[in-house]
Amino acid sequence: MTGSLAAAHAAAAPVTTTLPAVGVQRAAWLLVAFPLAGAAILLLGGRRTNRWGHVVGVAMPLAAFGFAVVAFIAMLSYPANQRSRVLTLFTWIHVARFNVPVGLQLDQLSICFVLLTTGVGSLIHIFAVGYMSHDPERRRFFGYMNLFVASMLLLVLADNYLVLYVGWEGVGLASYLLIGFWQYKPAAAVAAKKAFVANRVGDAGLSVAIMLMFAVFGSVTFAGVFGQAGKASQGVVTALGLLLLLGACGKSAQLPLQSWLLDAMEGPTPVSALIHAATMVTAGVYLIVRSGPIFDLSPNARLLVTIVGAATLLFGALISCAKDDIKKALAGSTMSQIGYMMLAAGLGPAGYPFAIALLLAHGFFKAGLFLGAGSVKHEMNDEVDMRRLGGLRKVMPITYVTFFICYLAIIGIPPFSGFFAKDTIIDVAFGKGGTSGAILGTAALIGAGLTAFYMTRVMYMTFAGERRWDPDAHPHEVPPIMTSPMILLAIGAVGWGGFEILGDRLAHFLGPVTGYVPPEPAIFSASGIAALVLAIAGVALGWAMYGRRPVPVVAPAARFPVTAARRDLYGDTFNESVLMRPGQWLTRLSVYFDNRGVDGLVNTLAATVGGTSGRLRRVQNGFVRSYALSMFIGAVLLVGAFLLVRI
């Protein structure tokens, strides 16, 4: 272990040199090609592929996962500082100084995301075969899902920002299509539009950042930008950092662009799992970690990342505490967990490996939770209000057990994965030192307590207590095609966190990319124990409020903090009053100005000319003699005028 540690440190100072891909990695383009081909077959093939479409839809991500494993094994055979490999496919744009090759970069960071996206993504695809079995549009659904996976893979594999942006936009498009998959429901159509618009705001930030990179560095490749970042002025680097953060906030649903995530629950549940665990919201964290060399140069931008992360982790957790919709409670939880990752990513190289560690662990347990929620929804006639659920433990034992394991993982009970992944982040936050470190660490601690409370609430309201079901509901355990992905994810939720954190495995693996291997975090440090105590307190409070006494079917009236959380802490209200209403006033004002001002002037002029000529044309009355008279009068006037002038 010390040998690899030394190697990692030696390679740490500059970003590792990238080598051309060799061997099996030369076929890395297959990773993107498989799901893209799946999407093309299913979406272009049309109804002909209805019968076997879902088979292709599952096979393609699985094939990509298989290849990712092969590429990963090939990567492990190289020495630590030679694992970053670039595969240049073709030149996309070559104009004068502007040269954009389409290249894929396989390194330790991207392979983590590739394995997560294809692995967890494939499990979600398998689950969706059962979940969407009654939907007549299942084939189209799988087409979009494959497109989603392909876009995400392109995003994490790109070796320059412009190709990354292509994947970034592809993810945005696929999420729009999937959130609005049941577009005949107005709520789904609105939610899709909302997600698209909120993402556009973030995308604008990323696109301006790319333009700025080209203007300053003359390059958009990772190597080109990071190599010259040190020469740029502090202002440029900070601006780049803030713009990238804006992009990350849009995709990862961080404050202030968080509002789309809760509404995105209108999509089918596998989509929610895919967005929250394997793709989409992790893209923002990826962007921050990948752009580490830029953030390392700008402490201000980095501080803002931590502030955004800490604020969002509390914000999301508070929303989750009051939501009665099981999917929305989980969505708020995702927002909160991504907040932890952003917080860690903002702490610099010391935090990068732990951000990725929580991201991977979160991929398992959050996908497990969402698939569990999907099973419940599937069996309860699409009922998602937890006040109408309850007592499902006996009826759906496998769903219950997997959900319970993921629950233990997310609230951070040892030895489940959330304990290792989250507590190290709290440790690193306190380790930052100073006032900011104390504030960030405290926020993360409070978040841990809140997480335990709201997840306990979800558990009790869904699986325990009396049955508050709709009389028509007859739930049974879901078929094996849906339970098996949940079981696999639950296994991951048990072991993965310990595997990646203990012995600093992930940090060593990522070291050459993140540029620094932090010392092995102490398990059961003071902050870790504090987090555990808070988590147990949260569980106890959850039991006291929802386990010990019956849950009312109608949500009881509540006072300020609860009503605020039920309304997403006024996120939509804020957007409406600060952005939407003034925007509408502005458009109304400009419409008024256009109608009355610009058009008014032009129309008045035209009306004047028209009216005058209408009166003047009466002179042309058709009587020759009146024309003659006017000619005479004119001639007399002319002669008179001449005479007058001469005299």
The footprint of another protein (CB under 8 A) covers 617-625, 628-629, 632
**At a CB cut-off of 8 Å and minimum separation 6, what does 590 contact?**
none
Q: Label residue 212 exposed, middle or buried (CB < 10 Å: 0-12, 13-18, 19+).
A: middle
Residue 645 beta carbon to another protein: minimum distance, rounded to whole angstroms: 21
- Return the ∠ at Cα 205 (arms to 202 and 211), rounded to 5°: 145
Residue 619 beta carbon to another protein: minimum distance, rounded to whole angstroms: 8
Q: How far apart are CA 86 and CA 20, in angstroms?
A: 5
Q: How many residues in total does the chain contain? A: 647
**At a CB cut-off of 8 Å and minimum separation 6, what does 643 contact?**
none
Strand partners, 94: 99
Residue 621 beta carbon to another protein: minimum distance, rounded to whole angstroms: 6
Residue 643 beta carbon to another protein: minimum distance, rounded to whole angstroms: 15
Closer of 618 and 646 to another protein (Cβ): 618
**Structural contact between residues 457 and 546, judged by C-beta atoms closer than 8 angstroms:** yes
Residue 200 beta carbon to another protein: minimum distance, rounded to whole angstroms: 58
Residue 644 beta carbon to another protein: minimum distance, rounded to whole angstroms: 20
**Structural contact between residues 276 and 231, judged by C-beta atoms closer than 8 angstroms:** no
Closer of 560 and 623 to another protein (Cβ): 623
Number of H-type helices and E-type strands within the chain = 27, 3
Closer of 233 and 621 to another protein (Cβ): 621
**At a CB cut-off of 8 Å and minimum separation 6, what does 278 contact?**
116, 117, 120, 121, 124, 149, 152, 363, 367
Closer of 90 and 623 to another protein (Cβ): 623
Phi, psi of 582 (to 5 degrees): -60, -35
**What are the angstrom distances between the C-alpha of 301 and each of 22, 352, 358, 359, 376?**
37, 15, 22, 21, 42
- Return the ∠ at Cα 246 (arms to 243 and 250), rounded to 5°: 145
Residue 624 beta carbon to another protein: minimum distance, rounded to whole angstroms: 4
Residue 599 beta carbon to another protein: minimum distance, rounded to whole angstroms: 29
- Return the ∠ at Cα 505 (arms to 503 and 506), rounded to 5°: 140
Closer of 3 and 614 to another protein (Cβ): 614
Sign of dihedral through CA atoms 302, 307, 313, 316?
negative
Closer of 2 and 613 to another protein (Cβ): 613
Residue 632 beta carbon to another protein: minimum distance, rounded to whole angstroms: 6
**Structural contact between residues 266 and 259, judged by C-beta atoms closer than 8 angstroms:** no
**What are the angstrom distances between the C-alpha of 259 and each of 102, 172, 243, 244, 322?**
34, 15, 19, 19, 16
Residue 135 gets the label, from left (phi > 0), alpha (psi -120 to 50) or beta, of beta
**Structural contact between residues 310 and 440, judged by C-beta atoms closer than 8 angstroms:** yes
Closest CA to 443 of 460, 456, 426, 459: 426
Closer of 134 and 618 to another protein (Cβ): 618
Residue 638 beta carbon to another protein: minimum distance, rounded to whole angstroms: 15
Residue 588 beta carbon to another protein: minimum distance, rounded to whole angstroms: 43
Closer of 585 and 627 to another protein (Cβ): 627
Closer of 616 and 645 to another protein (Cβ): 616
Residue 616 beta carbon to another protein: minimum distance, rounded to whole angstroms: 9
Closest CA to 102 of 29, 171, 36: 29
Closer of 524 and 632 to another protein (Cβ): 632
**Structural contact between residues 165 and 210, judged by C-beta atoms closer than 8 angstroms:** yes
Residue 609 beta carbon to another protein: minimum distance, rounded to whole angstroms: 16
Closer of 47 and 618 to another protein (Cβ): 618
Closer of 233 and 620 to another protein (Cβ): 620
Q: Which two tokens stand for residue 140?
A: 């189209």
Residue 646 beta carbon to another protein: minimum distance, rounded to whole angstroms: 17
Element at 90 (helix H, strand E): strand 85-95
Closer of 96 and 624 to another protein (Cβ): 624
Closer of 77 and 620 to another protein (Cβ): 620
**Structural contact between residues 497 and 521, judged by C-beta atoms closer than 8 angstroms:** no
Closest CA to 130 of 269, 294, 29: 269
Residue 633 beta carbon to another protein: minimum distance, rounded to whole angstroms: 10
Amino acid making up residue 288: I
Closest CA to 425 of 455, 451, 445, 411: 445
Closer of 619 and 645 to another protein (Cβ): 619
Q: How far apart are CA 142 and CA 147, in angstroms?
A: 8
Closer of 584 and 612 to another protein (Cβ): 612
Q: How far apart are the first and last CA of the chain?
A: 119
**Structural contact between residues 277 and 333, judged by C-beta atoms closer than 8 angstroms:** no
Residue 611 beta carbon to another protein: minimum distance, rounded to whole angstroms: 15
Strand partners, 501: none
**What are the angstrom distances between the C-alpha of 394 and each of 373, 379, 390, 397, 475?**
16, 14, 10, 6, 10
